[in-house]
Chain A
């Protein structure tokens, strides 16, 4: 049995109240056992195929390719059930929670995609579901709040701080500290205390495994570059990971530059952050000189987070992956451009990856794969409001 990683270089670890340690130990042991249990793996495979709709296509975007001057394939996570890659993690973790005998599931959500995915998985498995959400996000994302309630989840409003994702994660962790014996916390990204970063990565790895096989099938070769947006970084680590040993494949993570990296109003934890502890792990965080965590800023709620998964911090330091950033304005332009070029409305998060490719140009040799992590229907109101400004 392979051990679940606790650290990635110096990053990761378990910087949490003592009350949670036993639960993290239990979760680690449960995942180490489940991922090698043929019955569990078969059940997950079946749900991935028949419920999520995997494998998602690897789509040759011809008009986008012509626009950037190089062949570009889109990994269509926007076609997964509920409209984003988040469901891969939510189904896997709730299945694991059920195997562990936990009947109550909690989650946090920013834009609502992870909340909807978790509420969906809980409906499927008949588990109680509470989703913590900042009241500012509840206001901005009303349709997703309605979806969660329709699916039978309780949406718990969080009033602290800026009333957004960071505080929702903190509220979920506090709930877990208090209710740890009956409850499993389905964290939404590859962040948090060990084993969460490895657990979420393992569950999102399916994106990269499929993409790698599909690329070999379509082109008889591996891509020149794999490009994905990075907030907490779960879609990026999922698509990067199966390519880590393919040294010739470039890995590019695109962070949110918000109003600009030099303005201080951004969500680029890897490029504009410092080594620090947030939500249970050591990684790169956006903090002031006193160590107070700062609010992130991005037009995309999913990238609006002042931390990032510890494995990304390690890949940055080792140089295996390269991290870049695009602004809100670039992402919004890419959102529109992909809609008109390909008939695909991308999530504002995924629009960051497209925007970098539009600015950088395609690969002269070989081809690129972009993770289209989610669809953009959820962002229509936000984009419409910005257009009205």
Chain B
């Protein structure tokens, strides 16, 4: 359990450390705030916190999510239609952030609209978030936000892709705080039939560049078996679209909580092996 005084960066490090101490990769489920409605997304957040999530990636719905595939794009659209705002995401964040580190996945235009880097860092800190992932602020565009978050003790988690050159990968990993988000495959988020070939080599190279900063793999991991496979080559495993789909199909807050909780428990067992 994180203490009040711990910074976001420290709480993320502690979560990965705890998993490593148990001989497994950290499990990081993704959820879309406000999807399919506020009550269900709060129930999903609660289920994540109580069903073995080591960290939670909390998506903030945005109108034009370029990095996301059909499932998460549709979930964002539905959440916005149901009235979700940044405040909806921050409410979900506050509801679980004392129990599990929460990293917000948010697009750059929403940060600009909420006052820019420093103000946004203050908003995150006040909501108990541990950090942020901004998929459209690559190295070269993210320096101002990285500095503002760092000043607040929060992590700006950078992404590394299979197309990232080795020199650039090193430049991304070197200043990184929290963890590195390794995109498993070229493409957008979404369920895929198999773990991509070459991922093990890519993960090993990224971990070498990352030094003591953990590397979590996401995009396309949709079964407990795939999670276990990825868990053997990375410090953390991110599961997104599969869980968003389950939350959307469930039909009620309780059913959604049960569905994602069951998936997480099963995945967690697989990771421990």
Residue numbers of A with Cβ under 8 A of B are: 13-23, 160-161, 166, 170, 173-174, 177-181, 274-280, 285, 287-294
Contacts and interface: CB of A to CB of B under 8 A. Distances in A.
Nearest to A13: B141
Given A16-B136, A290-B113, A291-B113, A21 B66 contact: no
Given A23-B163, A277-B107, A287-B109, 17 more contacts: A13-B141, A14-B138, A15-B137, A17-B159, A18-B161, A21-B161, A178-B188, A179-B186, A180-B186, A276-B112, A276-B113, A277-B109, A277-B112, A285-B109, A290-B114, A293-B109, A294-B63
Contacts, number: 120
A291 B77 contact: no
Task: Among A161, A174, A289, A294, find the residue whose CB has the most chain B CB atoms closer than 10 A.
Answer: A174
Nearest to A161: B77
Contact of B77 (A21, A160, A274, A285): A160
Contacts of B63: 161, 292-294
B85 interface: yes
A280 B109 CA distance: 10
B114 A291 contact: yes
Contacts of A288: 113
Nearest to B66: A173
Interface of B: 62-64, 66-67, 69, 73-74, 77, 80, 85-86, 107-114, 135-141, 158-165, 168, 172, 183, 186-188
B64 A18 contact: no
24 contacts: A14-B138, A15-B137, A18-B138, A18-B163, A18-B183, A19-B163, A21-B140, A21-B164, A22-B163, A160-B74, A161-B63, A174-B66, A177-B188, A178-B186, A179-B186, A180-B186, A181-B186, A274-B113, A290-B113, A291-B107, A291-B110, A291-B114, A292-B62, A292-B80
A285 B108 CA distance: 13
A15 B107 CA distance: 10
A293 B107 CA distance: 12
B64 A293 contact: yes
Nearest to A275: B112
Given A174-B66, A178-B186, A15 B159 contact: no
Contacts of B66: 16-17, 170, 173-174, 177, 279-280
A290 B85 contact: yes
Contacts of B64: 166, 170, 278-279, 293
Nearest to A15: B136
